[in-house]
Amino acid sequence: MQTVIQLDQVCKQYGTTVAVDHITMQVKKGEIFGIVGPNGAGKTTLIEILEGLRHADSGAATVLGKDISKHAQEIKQRIGVLLQSTAIPEKAKVKEVLHMFGSLYKKTADPSEIAAFLGLEDKQNAYIKSLSGGWKQRVSLALALINDPEIIFLDEPSMGLDPNARSEMWEMIHRLKKQGRTIVVTTHYMEEAEYLCDRIAVISRGRLVALDTPQKLISMLGGTKRISFKNAGKSSKARFAGLAHVTHVEYEAEMIKLHSSDIDETLKQLFHLAAQEDWMVSGLRLEDASMNDVFTEMTLQGKVAAR
């Protein structure tokens, strides 16, 4: 499969802070590629380098076969970008905004076709200020498509959307993939990353700590599962962390969640601890590992499992 983005030992530093630390990875044509990580992990800096908005201090970054540091303007004509928030004139109509943004590119798609694809036909004469958050996000996505891009960068595409609007956004992203476009998604929603992405890069402290399919990333945890139960308020986080095979504890006022690599042994010790301390294990739930667990294990504990 053709490589459309290639990073080789890319670094970026601000003063003493290393934002991107020797990252090497590839993005293949036609895939939905996710980038996840905690705040301050370096995701935004990495994406801005790929979009030609920042220069790397060292290493090489090519987009669509061209060095982004030398051909940024040419590459910008061939990519689309959906930001977390886009400054769109509130008093403009949807169709006016589409035509205005289209005038900025050498090549443009048909605005009416984009509107039809995103279900915006009936909103063409609506003013931006009259639209809900979900419809504004559709307009922002339409602007990212106005130049018929080969690669689309989506920064938190469903942030702030209600569950229905989020599902609709996910469906539109899958339809864009079916058109043969490459999509790079940054997100804080692990459910979104797991549902949308063919492969996911996990970034922590500027480093690439894992890169694989969601299913393989989850399997890297070695069968880790989660035990959830109500917090009786009679035991400490340290006591739970000391139970057999517990790899991580989420200790909250209402609920406690234990990540375990051997759920049977952990349960046995959990009930023994409850009996010793005279409290009941209630609200018990057993859950399979998910991308949320991958995120927790690989970013908070700093595991390095990149491939």
287 pLDDT above the threshold of 90? no
Domain ranges of the chain: 3-78+150-218, 222-288
Share of the chain above pLDDT 70, in %: 96
What pLDDT was estimated at residue 16? 94
Per CATH, the number for 222-288 is 3.30.70
pLDDT tens-digit map of 231-276: 999 999 999 999 999 988 999 999 999 988 889 999 999 999 999 9
CA–CA dist 107, 104 (Å, integer): 9
Q: Which residue has the tokens 């549902």?
A: 195
| Biggest CA-to-CA distance, the chain | 73
298 pLDDT above the threshold of 70? yes
210 pLDDT above the threshold of 70? yes
What pLDDT was estimated at residue 305? 43
Encoding tokens for residue 80? 């689309």
Bridge partners, residue 290, by sequence: none
Which range is most confident: 23-32, 214-223, 296-305? 23-32
Per CATH, the number for 3-78+150-218 is 3.40.50.300
What pLDDT was estimated at residue 133? 87
The Cα angle at residue 236 between residues 231 and 237, in degrees rounded to 5: 85
CA–CA dist 150, 66 (Å, integer): 14
HEC-encoded secondary structure of the chain:
CCEEEEEEEEEEEECCEEEEEEEEEEEECCCEEEEECCCCCCHHHHHHHHCCCCCCCEEEEEECCEECCCCHHHHHCCEEEECCCCCCCCCCEHHHHHHHHHCCCCCCCCHHHHHHHCCCHHHCCCEHHHCCHHHHHHHHHHHHHCCCCCEEEEECCCCCCCHHHHHHHHHHHHHHHHCCCEEEEECCCHHHHHHHCCEEEEEECCEEEEEECHHHHHHCCCCCEEEEEECCCCCCHHHHHCCCCEEEEEECCCEEEEEECCHHHHHHHHHHHHHHHCCCCCCCEEECCCHHHHHHHHHHCCCCCCC
pLDDT tens-digit map of 144-164: 999 999 999 999 998 888 899
Q: Predicted confidence band at 306 (pLDDT cuts at 50, 70, 90)?
A: very low
What pLDDT was estimated at residue 301? 55
CA–CA dist 273, 280 (Å, integer): 10
